[in-house]
């Protein structure tokens, strides 16, 4: 079967960039991205592509090229489902906040809603692709809903998890390490797999397109995120030991990373990993393991989260201890609020938790982030429900100019590794601060020796 029409449900951080790249690389395929969120679709259709709702380097150019040609953003979900041969489900799968599995399991209500809507609308056979990250064996539930509530048409369910990282989404999509497609071992299943393989083969080498059964594909995605997050918690655990022993975690990371079996990537000690997925996916993995009675497996992976929470708390504690055990009424400036550089995404950013801890100690937090908007920072804090909106708004001052944000501060904390922080005039910043001037580098991006020469009391992670 040749694919000429694709629909993607969910115009978020995955659906938007992934479909933009498919549309760019496959001009003969009409790609329609739909979402219930009208504002989000309106923003994707903004005539000025610099205003699209997701900031990713290179994305606005791709949208400018393909939008209106074969890439469309719409709120007409049913129409797009009806037209398409292939439907990607790319909706959010957050941690459940209620009922059984609260705080652990993935909330599949949005996925089920999509399945029911597809079943209702589809009048011809369709391939349904799980793009969202899902618990292993979700395809079974989707298939049951489709087969039992549909109009008698045939559905093939494929699992095609996404491995892009935010901030590098476009390059990750253009040059993926691999594309993973899981499907049924039946003839129809294999045909569906081949149809999707041919879409990706428009720009990805065939030997990088891996096909498996559905369950392996679903579980590989959770496993990949668990392994990646585990590396960060492992190096962060060593960072605490480094601080006690005089070892330097960057030197340790370099030394072990040169072992080709370990590899150099993903060994940067930090204030802790953030982002919408690592924590959610590991909690989900822990929940799945527990539900099969595999308590040792569950405990093993849960430790990755425990270590990450500890690392965030350790960072805020260190600030308080270093500032003579009190930060009450002291101005502490955060450089960065996003969970990593080159994204405007703040979900689960370490900055939120560090700010929350410090505001509990009655600190006054000032923030500068090149891409995150004020209302987003405040809503991140409000979401924790630690205090009222008014109290949060009084405790957090947001600046559009980094130099202004640092004026009169007792301390600066680097929470995101934005490149621009490295090039600042640090002498000028030092001169404008209260003395002694403290700098807590939660990302180890600044030059400790130069800053100490200026007069800063510099504290990195793990040294």
Chain positions contacting ligand UGA, by CB under 6 A: 133, 162-166, 225, 228, 232, 266-268, 270, 273-275, 277-278, 339-340
Cβ–Cβ < 8 Å for 112, 120: no
Among 133, 236, 346, 444, binds ligand NAD (CB under 6 A): 133
Q: List Cβ neighbours of 8 (8 Å cut-off, separation of 6 or more).
A: 15, 18, 19, 31, 32, 33, 34, 87, 88, 90, 131
Per the annotation, the verdict on 191 as an active-site residue is no
Q: Identify which of residues 32 and 463 has a Cβ nearer to ligand UGA in the complex.
A: 463
Q: Would you count residue 90 as binding ligand NAD (CB under 6 A)?
A: yes
Per the annotation, the verdict on 162 as an active-site residue is yes
Q: Identify which of residues 85 and 444 has a Cβ nearer to ligand UGA in the complex.
A: 444
Q: Would you count residue 14 as binding ligand NAD (CB under 6 A)?
A: yes
**Which one of ligand NAD, ligand UGA, none interacts with residue 121, CB within 5 to 8 A by kind?**
none
- Which of the following is catalytic: 30, 96, 221, 341? 221
Contact stretch for ligand NAD (CB under 6 A) within 6-14, 118-126, 233-241, 352-360 = 6-14
DSSP assignment of 267-314: ----S---SSSHHHHHHHHHHHHHHTT-HHHHHHHHHHHHHHHHHHHH
Q: Which helix (H) or strand (E) holds 372?
A: none
Q: Would you count residue 346 as binding ligand NAD (CB under 6 A)?
A: no
Residue 399 Cβ vs ligand UGA, minimum distance, rounded to whole Å: 22
C-alpha to C-alpha distance for 209 and 203, rounded to whole angstroms: 11
3-class DSSP state for residue 241? helix
Q: List Cβ neighbours of 119 (8 Å cut-off, separation of 6 or more).
A: 145, 146, 149, 150, 151
Residue with tokens 């919408």: 276
Q: Identify which of residues 276 and 444 has a Cβ nearer to ligand NAD in the complex.
A: 276
Give the end-to-end CA distance of the chain in Å, rounded to a whole number.
58
3-class DSSP state for residue 116? helix
With contacts defined by CB under 6 A, how many residues of the chain interact with ligand NAD?
A: 27
Contact stretch for ligand NAD (CB under 6 A) within 9-17, 151-159, 180-188, 423-431 = 9-17
Residue 62 Cβ vs ligand NAD, minimum distance, rounded to whole Å: 16
Residue 345 Cβ vs ligand UGA, minimum distance, rounded to whole Å: 8
What are the tokens at 278?
């690592």
Cβ–Cβ < 8 Å for 174, 23: no
Q: Identify which of residues 225 and 405 has a Cβ nearer to ligand UGA in the complex.
A: 225
What are the tokens at 306?
């425990």
Residue 418 Cβ vs ligand UGA, minimum distance, rounded to whole Å: 11
Q: Identify which of residues 111 and 451 has a Cβ nearer to ligand NAD in the complex.
A: 111
- Which of the following is catalytic: 26, 56, 114, 162? 162
Among 5, 36, 197, 305, binds ligand NAD (CB under 6 A): 36
Burial class (CB in 10 A: 0-12, 13-18, 19+), 314: middle
Q: Identify which of residues 350 and 395 has a Cβ nearer to ligand NAD in the complex.
A: 350
Using the 8-state DSSP alphabet, how is residue 408 labeled? T
**Which one of ligand NAD, ligand UGA, none interacts with residue 268, CB within 5 to 8 A by kind?**
ligand UGA
Residues 159-188 that bind ligand NAD (CB under 6 A): 162, 164, 166
Per the annotation, the verdict on 277 as an active-site residue is yes
C-alpha to C-alpha distance for 309 and 307, rounded to whole angstroms: 6
Q: Would you count residue 114 as binding ligand NAD (CB under 6 A)?
A: yes
Q: Would you count residue 277 as binding ligand NAD (CB under 6 A)?
A: yes
Alpha helix segments (H runs only) across 71-161: 77-83, 109-121, 138-149
- Which of the following is catalytic: 7, 8, 114, 277? 277
C-alpha to C-alpha distance for 441 and 87, rounded to whole angstroms: 44
Residue 35 Cβ vs ligand NAD, minimum distance, rounded to whole Å: 4
Q: Would you count residue 92 as binding ligand NAD (CB under 6 A)?
A: yes
**Cis status, amide bond into 436, omega within 30 of 0:** yes
C-alpha to C-alpha distance for 386 and 357, rounded to whole angstroms: 10
**Which one of ligand NAD, ligand UGA, none interacts with residue 35, CB within 5 to 8 A by kind?**
ligand NAD
C-alpha to C-alpha distance for 69 and 195, rounded to whole angstroms: 22
Residue with tokens 């606005």: 60
Q: Identify which of residues 110 and 399 has a Cβ nearer to ligand NAD in the complex.
A: 110
Q: Identify which of residues 162 and 441 has a Cβ nearer to ligand NAD in the complex.
A: 162
Among 270, 276, 279, 349, binds ligand NAD (CB under 6 A): 276
C-alpha to C-alpha distance for 65 and 138, rounded to whole angstroms: 35
Diameter over CA atoms, the chain: 74
**Which one of ligand NAD, ligand UGA, none interacts with residue 225, CB within 5 to 8 A by kind?**
ligand UGA
Q: Under the rule (CB under 6 A), what is the footprint of ligand NAD?
A: 9-15, 34-37, 40, 77, 90-93, 110, 113-114, 132-133, 162, 164, 166, 276-277
Residues with catalytic function: 162, 221, 277
């Amino acid at each position: 079967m040749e694919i000429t029409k694709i629909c993607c449900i969910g115009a978020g951080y995955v659906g938007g960039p992934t479909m933009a790249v498919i549309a760019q690389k496959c001009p003969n395929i009409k790609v329609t991205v739909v979402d219930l969120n009208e504002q989000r679709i309106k923003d994707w259709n903004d005539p000025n592509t610099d205003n699209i709702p997701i900031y990713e380097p290179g994305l606005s150019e791709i949208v400018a090229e393909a939008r209106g040609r074969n890439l469309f953003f719409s709120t007409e979900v049913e129409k797009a489902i009806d037209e398409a041969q292939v439907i990607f489900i790319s909706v959010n799968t957050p941690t459940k906040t209620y009922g059984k599995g609260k705080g652990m399991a993935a909330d599949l209500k949005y996925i089920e809603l999509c399945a029911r809507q597809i079943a209702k609308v589809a009048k011809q056979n369709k391939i349904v692709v799980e793009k969202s990250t899902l618990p292993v064996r979700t395809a079974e539930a989707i298939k049951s809903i489709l087969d039992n509530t549909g109009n008698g048409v045939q559905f093939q369910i494929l699992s095609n998890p996404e491995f892009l990282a935010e901030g590098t989404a476009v390059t990750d999509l253009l040059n993926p390490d691999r594309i993973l497609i899981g499907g049924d071992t039946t003839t129809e299943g294999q045909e569906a797999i081949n149809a999707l393989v041919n879409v990706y083969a428009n720009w990805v080498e065939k030997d990088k397109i891996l096909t498996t059964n559905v369950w392996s594909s679903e579980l590989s995605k959770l496993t990949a995120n668990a392994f990646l997050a585990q590396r960060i918690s492992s190096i962060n655990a060593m960072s605490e030991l480094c601080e006690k022993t005089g070892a330097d975690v960057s030197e340790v990371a370099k030394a072990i990373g040169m072992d080709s079996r370990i590899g150099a990537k993903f060994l940067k000690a930090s204030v802790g990993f953030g982002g919408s997925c690592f924590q959610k996916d590991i909690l989900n993995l822990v929940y799945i393991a527990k539900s099969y009675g595999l308590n040792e497996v569950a405990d093993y992976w849960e430790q990755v989260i425990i270590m990450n929470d500890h690392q965030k708390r350790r960072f805020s504690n260190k600030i308080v201890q270093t500032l003579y055990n009190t930060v009450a009424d002291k101005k502490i400036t955060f450089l960065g609020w996003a969970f990593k550089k080159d994204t405007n995404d703040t979900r689960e950013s370490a900055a939120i938790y560090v700010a929350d801890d410090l505001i509990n100690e009655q600190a006054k937090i000032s923030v500068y982030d090149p891409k995150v908007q004020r209302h987003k920072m405040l809503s991140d804090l409000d979401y924790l429900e630690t205090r009222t909106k008014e109290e949060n708004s009084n405790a957090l001052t947001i600046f559009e100019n980094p130099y202004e944000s640092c004026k009169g501060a007792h301390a600066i904390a680097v929470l995101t590794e934005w490149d621009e922080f490295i090039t600042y005039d640090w002498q000028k910043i030092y001169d404008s601060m209260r003395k002694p001037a403290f700098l807590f580098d939660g990302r180890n991006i600044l030059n400790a020796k130069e800053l100490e020469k200026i007069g800063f009391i510099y504290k990195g992670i793990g040294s």
